[in-house]
């Protein structure tokens, strides 16, 4: 069953207005705000039902790739979603892989990344799915070893994020809300970046930089990430979309040191959980200066994950990206969208 919505006719009126960050506030003098026209590419379906009997992924919140496989997480699931043949069709068909132990409240997994296995004492590649940290029930990550084809080896290991999230909490006006993560090579070695989404009134977007070797090495040895691995925090102004402040929703390190990210804006009573105003695809330079903030045309969508399309389909253009959405409705499936930055 195909759950994706039909493409809507696009006019200038359905491009949400964007205000980029002010020059000098971690933004370039000129920020690229050209709209992107997304192409609907289907959904993520499941070969078996989830705990609520659904055969589709709702509320996708991250997308990663490894060895020809794709992995997704949902803020409704403690399991990981493994897609073995992502280039075979627009719709991604996956199956649930045990991630974090079942609990009464959701784990709120908001980001999933691949990283060199050596950073966590594993051969090959590892997968890390990170909880948001917005409550004590959400202070865990799942660490999964992958083989050369991107398939799981053994069971995922739960990683306790309580200590590092307490350290992050002390530097924020409100509780942590980690929506993106990535590993990159910094001047002093590998860095683990955690991106806090400041969607509520009085909050702000912040990138927390951790010593990657210390944080991930400790995760492998002790099952937790220490507060001492936190190196710096960087407040980022992302501007607004549709009159509402943009907040981080995911990110990906680029080979040249830049960072691609997605961000979305929501209205409401100041909590940031109201009507979706729209989303944007952005680029930051290596020092977190925003150089692009490109709104998605069409009906307002909350984009929560991104991956280069060429990692799903080797024939795709190098400027093409695949995005996943969270419709904020458990009866609706996640959308897969394609955008081309060219």
| Residue 283 to residue 110: CA distance in whole angstroms | 20
What sections of the chain are H helices per DSSP?
Answer: 162-169, 212-222
pLDDT at 9: 37
pLDDT exceeds cutoff 60 at 8: no
Is residue 8 assigned to a domain? no
Q: What is the average pLDDT across 104-120? A: 95
pLDDT digits over 144-195, tens only?
999 999 999 999 999 999 999 999 999 999 899 999 999 999 989 999 999 9
The domain tally of the chain equals 1
| Residue 105 to residue 86: CA distance in whole angstroms | 31
Q: In terms of residue numbers, what domain contains 159?
A: 16-340
pLDDT at 267: 78
pLDDT exceeds cutoff 50 at 72: yes
Bridge partner residues of 235 (DSSP)? 206
Is residue 291 assigned to a domain? yes
Give every CB contact of residue 33 below 8 A, 6+ residues apart in sequence: 18, 20, 292, 293, 294, 295
DSSP state of 298: S
Give every CB contact of residue 324 below 8 A, 6+ residues apart in sequence: 44, 60, 61, 62, 63, 72, 303, 304, 305, 306, 334, 335, 336, 337
Is residue 2 assigned to a domain? no
Q: What is the CATH number of the domain that holds 168?
A: 2.120.10
Q: What is the average pLDDT across 78-105? A: 90
| Residue 288 to residue 183: CA distance in whole angstroms | 14
Residue found by looking up tokens 């979603």 in the block: 81
pLDDT exceeds cutoff 80 at 268: no
pLDDT digits over 279-316, tens only?
999 999 999 999 999 999 999 999 999 999 999 999 99
Lowest-confidence pick of 166-170, 204-208, 274-278, 312-316:
274-278
Is residue 42 assigned to a domain? yes
Lowest-confidence pick of 15-29, 34-48, 55-69, 326-340:
15-29
Is residue 260 assigned to a domain? yes
10 Å CB burial of residue 100 (0-12, 13-18, 19+) is buried
The full 3-state SS of 214-267, as one line of letters, equals HHHHHHHHHCECCHHHEEEEEEECCCEECCEECEEEEEEECCCCCEEEEEEEEC
| Residue 259 to residue 269: CA distance in whole angstroms | 31
Q: What is the average pLDDT across 196-216? A: 93
3-class state of residue 16 by DSSP: coil
pLDDT at 269: 57
Average pLDDT for the chain: 91
Is residue 160 assigned to a domain? yes
pLDDT at 30: 87
Is residue 325 assigned to a domain? yes
Closest to 225 measured CA to CA, from 304, 133, 301, 100: 133
Tokens of 43: 């959904």
Is residue 225 assigned to a domain? yes
pLDDT exceeds cutoff 80 at 22: no
Percent over 70 (pLDDT), the chain:
93
- C-alpha distances (whole Å) from 277 to each of 147, 244, 261 are 40, 7, 17
Q: How do the residues of the chain divide into helix, strand and coil, expressed in percent and rounded to 5?
A: 10, 45, 45
pLDDT exceeds cutoff 70 at 213: yes
pTM score above 0.85: yes
Lowest-confidence pick of 22-36, 71-85, 120-134:
22-36
pLDDT at 4: 35
pLDDT at 247: 95
pLDDT at 91: 85
Closest to 89 measured CA to CA, from 313, 314, 310, 311: 313
pLDDT confidence tier of residue 271, bands split at 50, 70 and 90: low
pLDDT at 15: 75
DSSP string, 140-179: EEEEEEE-TTS-EEEEEEEEE-HHHHHHHHTTSSS---EE
């Amino acid at each position: 069953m195909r759950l994706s919505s039909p493409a809507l006719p696009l006019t200038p009126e359905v491009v949400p207005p964007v205000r980029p960050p002010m020059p000098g506030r971690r933004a370039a003098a000129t920020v690229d705000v050209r709209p992107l026209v997304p192409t609907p590419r289907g959904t993520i379906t499941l070969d078996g039902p989830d705990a609520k009997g659904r055969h589709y992924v709702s509320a996708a919140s991250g997308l990663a790739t490894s060895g020809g496989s794709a992995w997704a997480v949902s803020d409704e699931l403690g399991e990981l979603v493994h897609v073995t043949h992502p280039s075979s069709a627009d719709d991604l068909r996956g199956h649930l892989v045990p991630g974090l132990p079942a609990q009464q409240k959701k784990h709120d997994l908001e980001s999933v990344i691949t990283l060199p296995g050596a950073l966590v004492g594993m051969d090959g590649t590892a997968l890390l799915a990170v909880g948001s940290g917005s409550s004590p029930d959400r202070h865990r990550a799942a660490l999964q070893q992958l083989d050369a084809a991107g398939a799981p080896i053994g069971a995922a290991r739960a990683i306790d994020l309580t200590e590092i999230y307490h350290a992050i909490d002390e530097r924020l006006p409100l509780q942590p809300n980690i929506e993106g993560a990535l590993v990159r090579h910094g001047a002093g070695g590998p860095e683990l970046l955690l991106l806090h989404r400041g969607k509520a009134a009085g909050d702000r977007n912040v990138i927390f930089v951790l010593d990657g070797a210390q944080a991930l090495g400790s995760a492998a040895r002790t099952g937790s990430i220490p507060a001492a691995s936190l190196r710096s925090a960087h407040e980022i102004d992302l501007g607004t979309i549709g009159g509402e402040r943009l907040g981080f929703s995911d990110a990906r390190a680029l080979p040249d040191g830049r960072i691609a990210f997605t961000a979305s804006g929501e209205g409401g009573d100041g909590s940031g959980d109201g009507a979706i105003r729209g989303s944007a695809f952005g680029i930051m330079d290596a020092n977190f200066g925003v150089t692009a903030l490109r709104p998605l045309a069409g009906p307002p969508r909350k984009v929560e994950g991104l991956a280069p399309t060429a990692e799903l389909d080797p024939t795709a253009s190098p400027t093409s990206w695949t995005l996943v959405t969270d419709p904020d409705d458990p009866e609706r499936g996640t959308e897969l969208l394609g955008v081309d930055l060219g």
